[in-house]
Copies of this chain bind each other. A is one copy, B any other.
Amino acid sequence: MIKHALNVTRDGDFAQWYQTVITEADMAEESGVRGCMVIRPWGYGIWERIQRLLDDRIKATGHENCYFPIFIPLSYFEKEAEHVDGFAKEMAVVTHHRLIQKDGRLVPDPAAKLEEPLVVRPTSETVIGAAFSRWVQSWRDLPVLINQWANVVRWEMRTRMFLRTAEFLWQEGHTAHATVEEARDETLKMLEVYRSFAEDCVAMPVIAGEKPENERFPGAVETWSIEAMMQDGKALQAGTSHFLGTTFSSAQDIKFQNASGEQELAQTTSWGMSTRMIGGLIMTHGDDDGLRVPPRVAPWQVVIVPMLRDNDDDAALIDYCKSIQQELAQLSAFGEPVRALLDLKSVKAVTKRWGWIKKGAPIVVEVGGRDMAGGNVSVIRRDRLYREDGKLDSAIVARGDFVETATATLKGIQDALFEQAKARTEANITRDVTDFAGLEAFFEKGGKTPGWVEVNWSKPTGAELDKVVERLKALKLTFRNVPIGAAPAEGSCIFTGAPAVERILVAKSY
């Protein structure tokens, strides 16, 4: 039996396992500030990779980055009732601009109270809409295609590292268009950017589709999402793209003169992906030995650990490792130079080995005196850690062969992680539930979440939809989305009995 690196398994306690991976991989920690985390170098390094790769795609689709204020005056929110209803309960509010000493403690200075309180942005539609209204006068000014990388704050009561934190990091795209058609195209284009980014870079298979009415972003006409299946069978919403119609352009007065000289309201969109993606990465690829990071988003793709002995041979060993590192750095994987680290910290080699395994570095290369003498290296692939006999699979390979195949190996690891997750996701989507009792039965099988169910529905709205949502809630279930490319609905809705119009995913979710 394999003795794994973590003291908790996914099967044993998934929630505890998740926290343990974050801690053991040095990704993040509690900050001491309510609901906020400290993102440590390994976690932040993954975020930097996500930023770089996603930013390239956002720019390649014609968007430019800007930066807007972190503070939003209350009056901006008052203009859009539905939007504020969605966020008012969880806003951090700045009311003073100075501190004074009182009885030996620091307190807000009553003489420095703001006339109009400011909200720390939970999202930026209102403040960016105000800018758009200044920028847009004529159809020639459209489209406006903007993105922002920023921190936002939503005062969540129950927080969980990466998945739900009071402050989180994200990008938020905001665009304005002359026509509904163009704005809807943009919404779907960015959804596709998210889908391909998640699958190609994070090796995370997702289902892209439209959210039902009750799951829409406050103020949106349509909300689309990508949903990923975690290893516990729950769904994680990993990115959203909203067609906002004229909700914000009418509230913020984003008007343009069209080619015929008439004033029209612009059609806007917004779309975002956040540090939540890192939580999804963990729950998609982690195993009982810790994290496994797909090579494209790994801060270090290859980590070289020399087995130092604190003696005169160390210098030669380090030189040997350095030359391997340099050869790797000359290589290109996924269109970028290979990122190879030589780990020279004064820590025991075996501790380093397991440290990097828990962190999920794709390839760990150990080099001892015997390896060097034979012109070899010992290679551990994080995606296939153990041999069939349960022993750690560390393969002795000629250094030349290792370097020559390193790019292909990284590609192989990236593909293997995606294929594993894809197979698991596919195997756990059930499509043959035909009535509500079947749905109940499916989710009542034992303690584990058996996955997702795709069912017929009649797309009810308003009060009728609310009733359906309540029934799901009683089972701790939610609608995820109506998958793009799902089979046509045939038969009747499992909730209303009315003729089905489309297929929708139902799941437990984060």
Task: Name A's B-contacting residues (CB within 8 A).
Answer: 29, 31-33, 36-41, 44-45, 47-48, 64-74, 77-78, 84, 88-101, 105-108, 117-120, 127, 130-131, 134, 140, 146, 150-151, 153, 155, 166-167, 169, 346-347
Q: Give the distance to chain B from A72, nearest Cβ to Cβ, in Å.
A: 7
Contact A93 B69 (CB under 8 A): no
Interface centre among A77, A78, A99 (most CB of B within 10 A): A99
Contact A40 B66 (CB under 8 A): yes
Q: Give the distance to chain B from A174, nearest Cβ to Cβ, in Å.
A: 12
Bound together, the chains give a CA A65 to CA B130 distance in angstroms of 33
Contacts of A166 in B (CB 8 A): 71
Contacts of A167 in B (CB 8 A): 69-71
Contacts of A99 in B (CB 8 A): 74, 77, 84, 88-89, 91, 93, 119
**Residue A96 contacts which of B40, B47, B95, B127 (CB distance < 8 angstroms)?**
B95
Asked if A64 meets B45 with Cβ closer than 8 Å, knowing A120-B94, A167-B71, the reply is yes
Contacts of A33 in B (CB 8 A): 69, 71-73, 118, 127
Bound together, the chains give a CA A345 to CA B220 distance in angstroms of 30
Contacts of A45 in B (CB 8 A): 64-65
**Residue A97 contacts which of B74, B93, B100 (CB distance < 8 angstroms)?**
B93
Contacts of A92 in B (CB 8 A): 71, 94, 96-97, 118
10 contacts between A and B (CB under 8 A): A31-B130, A32-B73, A38-B66, A38-B68, A41-B66, A88-B106, A93-B99, A95-B95, A97-B155, A140-B347
Asked if A94 meets B94 with Cβ closer than 8 Å, knowing A33-B118, A151-B151, the reply is yes
Q: Give the distance to chain B from A339, nearest Cβ to Cβ, in Å.
A: 11
Q: Give the distance to chain B from A170, nearest Cβ to Cβ, in Å.
A: 12
Contact B88 A153 (CB under 8 A): no
Contact A66 B39 (CB under 8 A): yes
Contact A151 B93 (CB under 8 A): no
Contacts of A96 in B (CB 8 A): 92-93, 95, 117
Contacts of A38 in B (CB 8 A): 66-69, 131
**Residue A95 contacts which of B70, B73, B108, B150 (CB distance < 8 angstroms)?**
B108
Interface centre among A29, A98, A150 (most CB of B within 10 A): A98
Bound together, the chains give a CA A168 to CA B100 distance in angstroms of 23
Contact A31 B97 (CB under 8 A): no
Q: Give the distance to chain B from A389, nearest Cβ to Cβ, in Å.
A: 36
Identity of the chain B residue whose Cβ is nearest the Cβ of A134 in the assembled complex: B29
Contact A67 B91 (CB under 8 A): no
Q: Give the distance to chain B from A394, nearest Cβ to Cβ, in Å.
A: 26
Contacts of A48 in B (CB 8 A): 65
Contact B118 A70 (CB under 8 A): no
Bound together, the chains give a CA A382 to CA B114 distance in angstroms of 45
Bound together, the chains give a CA A331 to CA B89 distance in angstroms of 53
Q: Shortest 5 CB-CB distances between A and B: which pairs? A: A36-B69, A41-B64, A39-B67, A97-B155, A93-B96
Contact A98 B88 (CB under 8 A): yes
Contacts of A119 in B (CB 8 A): 99
Contacts of A107 in B (CB 8 A): 74, 117
Bound together, the chains give a CA A64 to CA B97 distance in angstroms of 32
Bound together, the chains give a CA A124 to CA B54 distance in angstroms of 28
Bound together, the chains give a CA A101 to CA B140 distance in angstroms of 39
**Residue A155 contacts which of B32, B47, B93, B98 (CB distance < 8 angstroms)?**
B98
Asked if A100 meets B127 with Cβ closer than 8 Å, knowing A70-B167, A93-B95, the reply is no
Asked if A98 meets B106 with Cβ closer than 8 Å, knowing A29-B134, A39-B67, the reply is no
**Residue A91 contacts which of B97, B101, B118, B347 (CB distance < 8 angstroms)?**
B97
Asked if A108 meets B93 with Cβ closer than 8 Å, knowing A71-B167, A74-B99, the reply is yes
Contacts of A36 in B (CB 8 A): 69-71
5 more A-B contacts (CB under 8 A) besides A32-B73, A41-B66, A70-B151? A33-B69, A69-B167, A71-B166, A90-B98, A94-B95
